[in-house]
C-alpha cells in the first residue's frame, strides 16, 4: 500500500450533476435539475488536490452543460499543475462544437472520452461519426485500438491528444456496479450477486495503491471523496475542507478500507466478527455487491469517523 498520497495515479471528478440529458440508468441522478457546486467550492477542491496527479478525469453530469465553470476549473488546474498535466474530459458529446473543442484543447484538455454509446442515451451515439471527424480534424488520435477498459494494451504516447468512446452495456457499466441513483429507481440494474465490481477498474481495488493490475484511482462525487466510482454509503472525506492526501493517509489505517483496497468487500467485516459466509448470504439477498457494501456501512460504521460501531457488531 502507498504511504505518500500526495501523488495519485488517477482522480475521477464529477464536478457537476447538471446534464442536458436525463438517462434512465444514470447512477448519480444527473439531469437538468442536477446538483451543482459554486465556483468557490470547485476552487477549494482544487486547492486540496494532491501535488502530483498522473491523470485527472473531469466528468458529470455533462461538463459542457456547465461550460463556464469547466473553463474556470481547467484554468485553475493549469495554474496548479502546468500545461503538460494530463486531463481527460468525459462527456456525452451532445453539446460539443468546433469552437468548444478548440477552447478545450487550448485550455489543456489532452483526451476526450465520449461516454454515451448505448441505448439509454437520447442520441445513442448518433453523433459519433461527426465527432470522430471533428477530433480527427484537430489531429487527435483514436485511442480505442490502444486500450481496453481499465487496461492499457499498448502505451499511448503521452504527447498525443486522444479520443475514445464507450457506453453502458450489460457486461460492464450496467453489470454489478451501478446499483445507484436512477438505475435503482427504474429497476434497470442487473442483479448478479456473483459479480464483484469492487475488484476491477473503478471499483475500490488499489485505491490506496499496492497493486499493478488496475490503476490507482479515487473518485470525487461533487465534493465527496470515494474509493470507487459508484461511491461508498459514507464518503471518505469532504474535499472542500480537507486535503485529499490527509484523508487517504487517515483511511489507509482503517481495516475496513484496507480490505476494500484488496477489492474483496465480502471480507471487510471479518475483523469485527462478520464472516465472509454471512457477507455472501447478505449479498445473495441484495443481489449486488455494492448494495451489500451500503448495508455493511449503515449497520457497522460511524458515518463520519468510518470507525466500527462496536456496540452493533454482528456475531
Ligand atoms: S448518464 Fe450521462 S448523459 Fe445520461 S443523465 Fe447521466 S450524466 Fe447525463
Ligand atoms: S463494494 Fe463498496 S467500495 Fe466496492 S465498488 Fe461497491 S460501493 Fe465501492
Taking the C-alpha atoms of residue 175 and residue 190, their distance in angstroms, rounded to an integer, is 5
CA distances from 228 to 12, 29, 130, 268 (A): 9, 17, 33, 15
Angle at 123 between CA 122 and CA 124, to 5 degrees: 95
Tens-of-pLDDT digits for all 315 residues of the chain?
A: 888 999 999 999 999 999 999 988 899 999 999 999 999 999 999 999 999 999 999 999 999 999 999 999 999 999 999 999 999 999 999 999 999 999 999 999 999 998 876 666 666 567 888 999 999 999 999 988 876 555 455 567 778 899 988 765 555 555 445 799 998 999 888 788 998 989 988 899 999 999 999 999 999 999 999 999 999 999 999 999 999 999 999 999 999 999 999 999 999 999 999 999 999 999 999 999 999 999 999 999 999 999 999 754 444
> Domains of the chain, with CATH numbers?
7-248 (3.20.20.70), 249-312 (no CATH)
Q: Which of 221, 289, 301 most suits a substitution to test ligand 2, by most atoms within 8 Å of the C-beta?
A: 289
Q: For residue 113, how many other CB atoms are within 10 A of its CB?
A: 18
Could you give the count of Cα atoms lying within 13 Å of 282 in the half-sphere of its Cβ? 20
Angle subtended by helix axes 98-106 and 128-137, to nearest 10: 50
Please name the residue whose Cα sits nearest to atom 1 of ligand 2: 290
Provide the grid cell at 26.
444514470
**Rounded to the nearest whole angstrom, what is the distance from the C-alpha of residue 290 to the centroid of ligand 2?**
5
| Cα–ligand 1 centroid distance for 23 (angstroms) | 5
What pairing do the DSSP bridges indicate for beta strands 151-152 and 237-238?
unpaired
The interaxial angle of helices 39-47 and 67-81, nearest 10 deg, is 20
With a 6 Å cutoff on the Cβ, whether 94 touches ligand 1 is: no
The single-letter DSSP state of residue 103 is: H
Substitution candidate for ligand 1 out of 23, 27, 115 with most atoms within 8 A of CB: 23
DSSP state for residue 266 in the 8-state scheme: G
Alpha carbon distance 245, 232 (integer Å):
18
The model's pTM is 0.93
Q: How far is CA 252 from the centre of its chain?
A: 19
Amino acid at each position: 500500500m502507498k504511504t505518500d498520497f500526495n501523488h495519485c495515479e488517477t482522480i475521477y471528478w464529477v464536478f457537476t450533476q447538471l446534464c442536458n440529458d436525463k438517462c434512465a440508468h444514470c447512477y448519480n441522478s444527473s439531469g437538468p435539475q442536477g446538483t451543482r457546486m459554486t465556483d468557490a467550492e470547485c476552487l477549494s477542491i482544487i486547492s486540496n488536490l494532491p501535488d502530483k496527479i498522473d491523470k485527472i478525469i473531469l466528468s458529470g453530469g455533462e461538463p459542457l452543460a456547465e461550460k463556464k465553470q469547466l473553463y474556470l476549473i481547467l484554468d485553475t488546474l493549469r495554474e496548479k499543475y502546468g500545461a503538460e498535466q494530463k486531463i481527460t474530459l468525459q462527456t456525452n458529446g451532445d453539446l460539443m462544437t468546433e469552437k468548444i473543442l478548440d477552447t478545450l484543447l487550448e485550455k489543456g484538455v489532452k483526451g476526450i472520452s465520449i461516454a454515451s454509446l448505448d441505448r439509454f442515451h437520447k442520441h445513442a451515439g448518433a453523433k459519433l461519426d461527426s465527432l470522430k471527424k471533428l477530433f480527427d480534424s484537430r489531429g487527435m488520435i483514436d485511442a480505442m485500438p490502444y486500450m481496453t477498459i481499465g487496461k492499457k494494451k499498448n502505451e499511448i504516447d503521452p504527447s498525443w491528444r486522444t479520443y475514445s468512446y464507450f457506453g453502458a452495456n450489460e457486461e460492464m457499466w450496467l453489470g454489478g456496479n451501478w446499483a445507484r441513483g436512477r438505475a435503482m429507481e427504474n429497476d434497470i440494474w442487473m442483479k448478479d450477486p456473483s459479480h464483484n465490481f469492487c475488484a476491477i477498474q473503478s471499483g475500490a481495488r488499489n485505491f490506496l495503491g499496492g497493486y499493478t493490475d488496475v490503476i490507482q484511482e479515487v473518485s470525487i462525487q461533487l465534493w465527496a471523496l470515494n474509493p470507487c466510482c459508484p461511491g461508498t454509503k459514507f464518503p471518505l472525506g469532504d474535499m472542500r475542507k480537507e486535503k485529499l492526501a490527509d484523508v487517504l493517509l487517515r483511511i489507509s489505517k482503517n481495516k475496513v478500507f484496507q480490505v476494500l483496497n484488496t477489492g474483496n468487500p465480502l471480507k471487510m467485516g471479518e475483523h469485527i466478527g462478520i464472516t465472509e459466509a454471512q457477507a455472501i448470504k447478505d449479498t445473495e439477498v441484495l443481489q449486488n455487491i455494492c448494495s451489500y457494501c451500503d448495508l455493511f456501512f449503515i449497520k457497522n460504521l460511524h458515518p463520519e469517523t468510518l470507525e466500527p460501531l462496536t456496540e452493533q457488531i454482528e456475531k
